[in-house]
Chain A
Amino acid sequence: MKHNFQYFFKEGVSNMFSHGFMSFAAIGITVACLLIMGTFSLVAYNANENLADLQRENAILAFVDENLDDNAVKGLQQELECVENVSECTFISREEAKKDYLEQYDDNDLYSNLDDDVFRHRYVIHMTDPGQMLATKELVEGVDGIAWVRADEAISNGFVTVRNIASVVSIALIAILLIISVFIISNTIKLTTFDRREEIAIMKMVGATDGFIRWPFVYEGLMLGICGAVIAFFLQWLLYSAITSGIANSDTLQLLRVVPFDGIWVPVAVIFLIVGILVGVGGSLTAIRKFLRV
C-alpha cells in the first residue's frame, strides 16, 4: 500500500489542533529545551573559540640571563628549540622589545624616555600543544642561561572553566529536558489516541495495518517537534543577538570575541531541527507503542 502522505499529514495536523492547549504545552517545552540547550552550547562554543584565540597568542616568554654574551644568547635558540612541545622560538632583543612596547602604547609619551636597560633579551616560545603550558614552562626554566620565564595561565584557565561548566551543565540539562519533552509530547499524543479510540477500533476492524494507524500520530509528533524547533531557532537568534550586542556595549566584556550568528545559523538550525524531529517522533512512538497491541 502506498504511503498516503497527504492524508496522514492532514490527520496529524488536525490531531494537533484538536488539543490546542496540550499541543501548545508540548511545543513550549520543546522550545524551552532547545533554547536552553542551544544557549549553553553556544556559550561553550564561544568560550572554546576564545580559548583557541588565546592559546594561539599565548606564548611563553623566556628572559635571558643578563650576564651572557651575545654569542651565548644566540646559542640558546637551538637549545630552546629542542625542548619538548616547543614549536617555534623567536629571539627578540631588548631594543626590539622596547620598540614593540612603545608601539602598543603609541599615543602615550609617558614611556618614551624609558631606557633600553629596562627591557631584556627574550625568546618568544610557541607551543605545539598550548594545553601543556605549565610543563613546558618548567622545562624552559631548566635551560641554562634563562633567567626567568613568564606564562600567563590565569585567563586561559578561566575560559577552560567556563567551557567545562557550560558543557557539563548543557549535557545534564539537555538530557533532563529531552526526557521531559518526549514525555509531554507523548502525553499529548496519548490524548489524541484516546480521543480517536473509536476510529482506531473501526479502522482495525476493517483491516487497517498498524502502520496505517500509526502514521497520523507520527506526523502529529513530527509537527510538534518541528514547530518547537522553528520557534526555538528564532528565539535563539534574538537571544544571541541581544547577548552579542550586550557584550559589545559592555566595558569589561568587550574584549571577548563573540562569533556572529550569521556564521553559525546553519548548524544551529540543522541541530535544532534534528533534535525537534527526534523528540517529536520519539514522543509519538512511546505514545502509540502500547496502544497498538490488540
Chain B
Amino acid sequence: MIRLTNVEKTYDNGTRALQGISFEIADGDFVFLVGPSGSGKSTIIKLLTGEIIPTGGRVMINGFSMSRITDEQIPYMRRTVGVIFQDFRLIAKKTVYDNLALAMRAVGATNREIRGRIPYVLELVGLAGMEKRYPDELSGGEQQRVAIARALVNNPDTIVADEPTGNLDPNRSLEIMTLLERINALGTTVVVVTHEKGLVNHFDKRVIMIEEGKVVGDGMGTYEVKE
C-alpha cells in the first residue's frame, strides 16, 4: 500500500515541487497520475522509488516509512517497486536476457532461478523467444516491453511508470497500457504518469490530477477533473 500524507518536497535550489500532497493507493489498484508539465508528477514517482526523500509530511510505501528509512533499508524498499521510464533505460550492449538477468542477479537470484524466470516474464510481455536480441534490434514498443519485463522480473508489489508511452506512437502506446492493465489484473499495483488524455479516457481507471504541487482532482475515469 502507498500512502502520502501532506507531503512536501522542496529541492535544494528552493523549488517547491510538492506542496502538501495526500492520497492513498490500495494494493491491486491501477492509478493514472496526470497534470501539466512541471506540476510535480515525476517528483512523486521519485519519492515512490526512493530516489529522493520528502522534506515534509509522510510517505509510506509497502510498509516502509520513507521519512524514517535508513540507507541500509532503501535497497529492500526498492525491491518492492518496479520502475519504468519513458526512455526505457536498457543496456545497449547486453542482450534482452542479460538485461533481465542483471536485475535478478542484483537482488541475489541464482543462475537457476534466472533461467527459470526470464522466459516466463518475456512470455508475459509478449516477447517470447527474444532472449538473444540486443535492444537496438527491437522496436520502441518492444524495448519498452523489455523494460516492463525487467520491472516485473523480481516480482514487485508495485510498478511505477513515468510516461512509459512518451516515446511511442498511439497504437504502441495503447498496447503498452493494455499490457500494464493485464499486469495489474494479475495482482500488481500500477501507478502510471501520462500526458495522453486519450489513453486515460480509454481505460476506466482512477485518475489523480496534480497542479503546482497539489492534488486538484482524484476520481474515476476522466482526465478532466473539475476543482
Instruction: Report B84 CB to chain A, min CB distance, Å.
Output: 10
Interface residues on B, range: 20 to 34
Q: Which of A148-156, A172-180, A200-208, A263-271 contacts B (4 or more CB under 8 A)?
A: A200-208
**B103 at interface, CB cutoff 8 A:** yes
Chain B residue at minimum C-beta to C-beta distance from A203: B106
**Cβ < 8 Å to A, chain B residues 117-154:** 150, 154
Bound complex: CA of A198 vs CA of B98, how far in Å? 14
- Where chain A touches its partner, the secondary structure class is helix
Q: Say yes or no: A207 contacts B76, CB within 8 Å.
A: yes
Partner of A206, one of B71, B78, B91: B78
Q: Say yes or no: A206 contacts B108, CB within 8 Å.
A: no
Chain B residue at minimum C-beta to C-beta distance from A212: B106
User: What sequence of 0s and 1s flags, for each residue 187-207 of chain A, a beta carbon within 8 Å of any chain B beta carbon?
Assistant: 000000000001101111111
User: What sequence of 0s and 1s flags, for each residue 46-66 of chain A, a beta carbon within 8 Å of any chain B beta carbon?
Assistant: 000000000000000000000
Of the listed residues A4, A7, A202, A210, the one surrounded by the most CB atoms of chain B closer than 10 A to its CB is: A202
Q: Say yes or no: A205 contacts B154, CB within 8 Å.
A: no
Q: Which residues of A contact B79 (CB under 8 A)?
A: 206-207
**A1 at interface, CB cutoff 8 A:** yes
Bound complex: CA of A212 vs CA of B107, how far in Å? 8
Bound complex: CA of A224 vs CA of B154, how far in Å? 34
Q: Say yes or no: B154 contacts A207, CB within 8 Å.
A: yes
Bound complex: CA of A185 vs CA of B78, how far in Å? 32
Bound complex: CA of A209 vs CA of B91, how far in Å? 20
Instruction: Report A115 CB to chain B, min CB distance, Å.
Output: 92
Instruction: Report A292 CB to chain B, min CB distance, Å.
Output: 10
A2-B108, A204-B75, A206-B78 are known contacts; what are 12 more A-B pairs with Cβ within 8 Å? A1-B108, A4-B105, A4-B108, A201-B89, A203-B102, A203-B103, A206-B82, A206-B107, A209-B72, A212-B106, A212-B108, A294-B51
